[in-house]
Structure 1
Amino acid sequence: MIKKPVAKVTNRKASTFKPSTIKPQTQPQTIKKNIARATDLPTKTQLVAQAERQNPVADSWPKALWSKASAQQVASNKLADAKTQVVVDLSDRRTYVYAGDEVIASYPIAIGKKGWETPTGSFQIIHMRHYPIWRHPITGKVFEAGTDSPLGDRWIGFWTDGRNEIGFHGTPEIDLVGTAVSHGCLRMRNSDVRLLYDQVSLGTAVVVRD
């Protein structure tokens, strides 16, 4: 539920990955979990953003209406690591990071609410940004980049229709993480999304399952 225009953040360049072909699958592959679940801190991470052609943005997955926002893109020269995979379990409301067959991290997340469900399937990370800036699609209010921004400290996009995107992002509303409150994006505590950002790269596989 977040939107944003771009307020220029230092001269950093955006990282954009153009996958050969990423086709969401109706039934995402099943991946075994081998980690005990940590206690979830209830928190929420709503995100809706509109991606603009020259400045792709973070967004959500609205079924009735696409919300807008624009995020500042920041440089990232990381290459995709074929052995790393991110698995999102919507029923658990957790994200698991795999290095081969081993789970190396697990984070609680907020997922899409009814009518704005997070899309399931197999994807790849296509955009990564530090401190995205967000503009409210209706009021036009600009939310500056930073920890208190609706998009938090990081943006990691993995789904797009060519105009809009869905992805992981931070949130200042940590009490809502673990609930279904977003417009499709996956909200995380800022401390967690920073860790996830450093564990993945453009091209890293993302599997979202019910």
Structure 2
Amino acid sequence: MLLHRISLLAALIVALGNTAAPALADSLGRETRPLANNAAMPSATVYRSPIAATSHLVLSLSDRRVYVYRDRRLQASYPVAVGKPGWETPTGTFRVFQKVTHPDWESPFTGEIIPAGTPENPLGPRWIAFWTDGNNAIGFHGTPFVNSIGQAASFGCARMRNEDIIALFEQVDIGTTVTVIP
């Protein structure tokens, strides 16, 4: 998805904080690091809220689930669809840098903007971005394609049932750590 209507705060983070997140440990204590080619990832460490400081997401590509931790305790998990072959979801440690309710979607292929709430919009009711190369962004979002949940079916994003993305949206904030593991 092309980065669309980025907030002023996210723009500042991109402009001033384009450094990879530091190495962190996943829920099993294994060290995780961003991929070397993800040097343009925004780091929102300075702007973290109390929620972001205590919560952590682990997106397991093999489990096809996102796990929500608060104070190192599992709070919830949700099934997801992940990137299909050729459009794999990037692995590493990132931070949430954008949250949008009722997001518009801009096609990365045609540039066409699909308004929020229309049946053609694949993002559902919420968008939570955690990776960008400056042009494209990857994140968690709802989907009208619920049969794709549990599959490698997206263009890199983590698709979720609409009710699940609404619940996840309330559990994270700008700066929340997202660790994507194979």
TM-score range, shorter chain: 0.7 to 0.9
Preserved CA contact (<8 Å) 1:24 1:120:
no
- Does 1:31 pair with 2:27? yes
Higher helix share: 2
**Residues in 1 aligned to 2:138 and 2:118: alpha-carbon distance in whole angstroms:** 19
Aligned-residue Cα RMSD (Å) equals: 2.9
Preserved CA contact (<8 Å) 2:3 2:136:
no
CA change 1:14–1:175 in 2 (3 A) is farther
Question: Shift of residue 143 of structure 1?
Answer: 2.2
**Residues in 2 aligned to 1:138 and 1:120: alpha-carbon distance in whole angstroms:** 24
Q: Which has the higher contact order (CA 8 A, sep 6+)?
A: 1
Task: Structure 1: give runs of 5+ residues left out of the alignment.
Answer: 7-12, 34-76
Question: Shift of residue 91 of structure 1?
Answer: 0.5
What amino acid is aligned across from residue 96 of structure 1 in structure 2? Answer: Y
- 2:137 is aligned to 165
Higher strand share: 2
**Residues in 1 aligned to 2:130 and 2:108: alpha-carbon distance in whole angstroms:** 21
Task: Structure 2: give runs of 5+ residues left out of the alignment.
Answer: 30-46
Preserved CA contact (<8 Å) 2:3 2:137:
no
- Does 1:186 pair with 2:158? yes
CA change 1:189–1:169 in 2 (3 A) is same
Preserved CA contact (<8 Å) 1:131 1:146:
yes
TM-score (norm 2): 0.75
**Residues in 2 aligned to 1:133 and 1:177: alpha-carbon distance in whole angstroms:** 21
Question: Shift of residue 185 of structure 1?
Answer: 0.7
What amino acid is aligned across from residue 165 of structure 2 in structure 1? Answer: V
Preserved CA contact (<8 Å) 2:129 2:137:
yes
TM-score (norm 1): 0.66
- 1:198 is aligned to 170
- Does 1:82 pair with 2:78? no
